[in-house]
Amino acid sequence: MKINLPLLTYNYDALEPYIDKQTMEIHYTKHHQTYVNKTNIILNKIEQCYEQNIFDIIKNLHKFPLKDKSILRNNAGGHINHSIFWKCLKKHTLLTGSIKNAIEHEFSSITNFKSIFEEIAINHFGSGWIWLVIENNILKIVATNNQDNPLMGADISGVSGVPILGLDIWEHAYYLKYKNNRIDYIKAFWNIINWDEVNTNFNKFFKN
Ligand code: MN3
């Protein structure tokens, strides 16, 4: 089994000025590509891989030997996290439809949702990701360290649920433009969320 860098459906400068062209290009062609390459190296070495796709692999990390497990956790995790992230980014979409209703239902208001999300992102120590997940049919905001993903389950990532929106808060995601001002990067995120994609994800995983 071999994985590939997913096609980016927009140009590197499409998210300017919120995410600059150079950061996008390096992030996608260097960082994400490295996660893909390292995942493929380890997948090549594993004699028998019973899992048929990369999502099944990160959901079943416990099935792999310890040394493979940590390499897969970091690199297959990195690949999936970034694959989700790129799809969640687009300028000029509207927060509307079922996802809007669900956020208002769960967090009282959009404003309150945003402030909780920002608070979790600002207070997260070190590298990681902030996610909006559906867990037991409830919307939650959770954080993971390094390249962990909620799909890995609580035993590994400390949280669980299906991610429908993710924000990369590694320094490589923002440092060229925002330097140490992670808070400005987090606040800029609201301008580039692809709510159409998040709404599609919500409808896919939320059981009415
Ligand atoms: Mn990244």
Q: Is 208 helix (H, G, I), strand (E, B) or coil?
A: coil
Ligand 1 midpoint to CA 29 (Å): 11
pLDDT of 52 reads 76
Ligand 1 midpoint to CA 97 (Å): 29
Q: Which residues fall within 8 angstroms of residue 6, CB to CB, at 6 or more apart?
A: 83, 86
Ligand 1 midpoint to CA 60 (Å): 23
pLDDT of 51 reads 73
Q: Judge whether 89 and 24 are in contact, CB under 8 Å.
A: no
Ligand 1 midpoint to CA 78 (Å): 7
Give the relative orientation of helices 110-123 and 97-107 as an angle to the nearest 10 degrees. Answer: 70
Q: How far apart (Å, rounded) are the C-alpha atoms in residues 102 and 104?
A: 5
Q: What is the pLDDT along the chain (208 residues), one digit of tens a residue?
A: 889 999 999 999 999 999 999 999 999 999 999 999 999 999 998 877 677 799 999 999 999 988 899 999 999 999 999 999 999 999 999 999 999 999 999 999 999 999 999 999 999 999 999 999 999 999 999 999 999 999 999 999 999 999 999 999 999 999 999 999 999 999 999 999 999 999 999 999 999 8
Burial class (CB in 10 A: 0-12, 13-18, 19+), 81: buried
Q: Which residues fall within 8 angstroms of residue 35, CB to CB, at 6 or more apart?
A: 74, 75, 76, 77, 78, 79, 82, 147
Ligand 1 midpoint to CA 79 (Å): 9
Ligand 1 midpoint to CA 31 (Å): 6
Ligand 1 midpoint to CA 169 (Å): 7
